[in-house]
Amino acid sequence: MYPDNLRYTREHEWVRVEGGIATMGITDHAQQELGDIVYVELPKPGAAVEQGKALGTVESVKAVSEIFSPASGEVTEINTTLADEPEKLNEDPHGEAWLVKIRLRAPEDLVELMSAAEYQAYVGAEK
Protein backbone atom coordinates (compact mmCIF):
# COMPACT_ATOMS: atom_id res chain seq x y z
CA MET A 1 0.00 0.00 0.00
CA TYR A 2 2.60 2.58 1.12
CA PRO A 3 5.65 2.67 -1.20
CA ASP A 4 8.95 1.77 0.46
CA ASN A 5 10.87 4.51 -1.34
CA LEU A 6 8.91 7.28 0.46
CA ARG A 7 9.24 8.64 4.01
CA TYR A 8 6.15 9.67 5.96
CA THR A 9 5.13 12.32 8.50
CA ARG A 10 2.71 12.11 11.42
CA GLU A 11 0.59 14.70 9.62
CA HIS A 12 0.16 12.32 6.66
CA GLU A 13 2.54 13.79 4.12
CA TRP A 14 5.05 11.70 2.14
CA VAL A 15 8.43 12.76 0.80
CA ARG A 16 10.94 11.29 -1.65
CA VAL A 17 14.49 12.66 -2.06
CA GLU A 18 16.48 12.65 -5.29
CA GLY A 19 19.71 14.64 -5.61
CA GLY A 20 18.97 17.10 -2.81
CA ILE A 21 15.42 17.77 -4.05
CA ALA A 22 12.52 16.47 -1.99
CA THR A 23 9.22 15.77 -3.75
CA MET A 24 6.30 15.74 -1.32
CA GLY A 25 2.58 15.04 -1.27
CA ILE A 26 -0.20 13.78 0.95
CA THR A 27 -0.72 10.11 1.72
CA ASP A 28 -3.45 7.79 0.57
CA HIS A 29 -4.69 7.73 4.17
CA ALA A 30 -4.97 11.54 4.09
CA GLN A 31 -6.96 11.62 0.85
CA GLN A 32 -9.30 8.93 2.15
CA GLU A 33 -9.91 10.85 5.35
CA LEU A 34 -10.52 14.08 3.45
CA GLY A 35 -12.91 12.65 0.87
CA ASP A 36 -13.54 14.44 -2.44
CA ILE A 37 -10.74 16.99 -2.79
CA VAL A 38 -11.90 20.12 -4.56
CA TYR A 39 -9.21 22.73 -3.99
CA VAL A 40 -5.46 22.86 -3.44
CA GLU A 41 -3.50 25.94 -2.42
CA LEU A 42 0.30 25.71 -2.77
CA PRO A 43 3.20 28.10 -2.15
CA LYS A 44 4.92 29.91 -5.03
CA PRO A 45 8.22 28.60 -6.42
CA GLY A 46 11.01 30.35 -4.55
CA ALA A 47 9.13 30.42 -1.26
CA ALA A 48 10.97 29.31 1.86
CA VAL A 49 9.34 26.49 3.82
CA GLU A 50 10.09 25.18 7.30
CA GLN A 51 9.80 21.61 8.48
CA GLY A 52 6.58 21.14 10.41
CA LYS A 53 5.11 24.50 9.31
CA ALA A 54 2.10 24.87 7.03
CA LEU A 55 2.99 25.21 3.36
CA GLY A 56 -0.48 25.12 1.87
CA THR A 57 -3.99 23.76 2.19
CA VAL A 58 -6.16 21.08 0.65
CA GLU A 59 -9.90 21.34 0.81
CA SER A 60 -12.50 18.64 0.49
CA VAL A 61 -16.18 19.41 0.04
CA LYS A 62 -16.55 19.47 3.77
CA ALA A 63 -13.28 20.60 5.31
CA VAL A 64 -10.07 22.57 5.03
CA SER A 65 -6.79 20.87 6.01
CA GLU A 66 -3.33 22.36 6.25
CA ILE A 67 -0.41 20.66 4.56
CA PHE A 68 2.77 20.70 6.64
CA SER A 69 6.21 20.77 5.11
CA PRO A 70 8.16 17.55 5.78
CA ALA A 71 11.46 19.43 5.46
CA SER A 72 13.00 22.91 5.41
CA GLY A 73 14.25 24.53 2.22
CA GLU A 74 13.14 26.40 -0.88
CA VAL A 75 10.24 25.51 -3.16
CA THR A 76 11.61 24.80 -6.64
CA GLU A 77 8.46 23.62 -8.38
CA ILE A 78 4.76 23.07 -7.69
CA ASN A 79 2.33 20.69 -9.36
CA THR A 80 0.28 23.18 -11.36
CA THR A 81 -2.08 20.54 -12.79
CA LEU A 82 -3.78 20.29 -9.39
CA ALA A 83 -5.24 23.79 -9.72
CA ASP A 84 -7.65 22.51 -12.37
CA GLU A 85 -7.71 18.85 -11.41
CA PRO A 86 -7.62 18.64 -7.61
CA GLU A 87 -9.48 15.31 -7.81
CA LYS A 88 -6.19 13.73 -8.94
CA LEU A 89 -5.23 13.83 -5.25
CA ASN A 90 -7.94 11.25 -4.60
CA GLU A 91 -6.82 9.12 -7.53
CA ASP A 92 -3.02 9.03 -7.33
CA PRO A 93 -1.77 10.74 -4.15
CA HIS A 94 1.64 9.01 -4.09
CA GLY A 95 2.38 9.54 -7.78
CA GLU A 96 0.91 11.94 -10.32
CA ALA A 97 -0.61 14.17 -7.64
CA TRP A 98 2.62 15.17 -5.92
CA LEU A 99 2.34 18.68 -4.50
CA VAL A 100 5.66 20.48 -4.16
CA LYS A 101 9.40 20.00 -4.81
CA ILE A 102 11.73 21.45 -2.19
CA ARG A 103 15.51 22.07 -2.40
CA LEU A 104 16.58 20.74 0.99
CA ARG A 105 18.46 23.00 3.37
CA ALA A 106 19.11 20.25 5.89
CA PRO A 107 18.74 16.73 4.43
CA GLU A 108 19.06 15.30 7.96
CA ASP A 109 15.54 16.70 8.55
CA LEU A 110 14.22 13.53 6.97
CA VAL A 111 15.89 11.10 9.36
CA GLU A 112 13.11 11.37 11.89
CA LEU A 113 10.35 10.61 9.38
CA MET A 114 8.68 7.22 9.28
CA SER A 115 9.37 4.34 6.93
CA ALA A 116 6.49 2.77 4.99
CA ALA A 117 6.14 -0.04 7.55
CA GLU A 118 6.18 2.44 10.45
CA TYR A 119 3.61 4.65 8.75
CA GLN A 120 1.37 1.68 7.99
CA ALA A 121 1.49 0.76 11.69
CA TYR A 122 0.87 4.41 12.63
CA VAL A 123 -2.30 4.81 10.55
CA GLY A 124 -3.42 1.36 11.64
CA ALA A 125 -3.11 2.42 15.28
CA GLU A 126 -4.75 5.80 14.72
CA LYS A 127 -8.04 4.27 13.57
CB of 19 to other proteins, least distance (A): 33
Work out how close the CB of 4 gets to other proteins at its nearest, in angstroms, rounded to a whole number.
26
- Output 57 or 115, the one with its CB closest to other proteins: 57
Task: Note the residues at the interface with other proteins (CB under 8 A).
Answer: 33, 35-36, 38-39, 41, 57, 59-62, 64, 83, 126-127
Q: Name every residue whose Cβ is closer than 8 Å to that of residue 126 and which is 6 or more positions away in sequence.
A: none
Beta carbon nearer to other proteins, 39 or 115: 39
Shortest reach from residue 38's CB to other proteins, in Å: 5
Cβ closer to other proteins: 16 or 88? 88
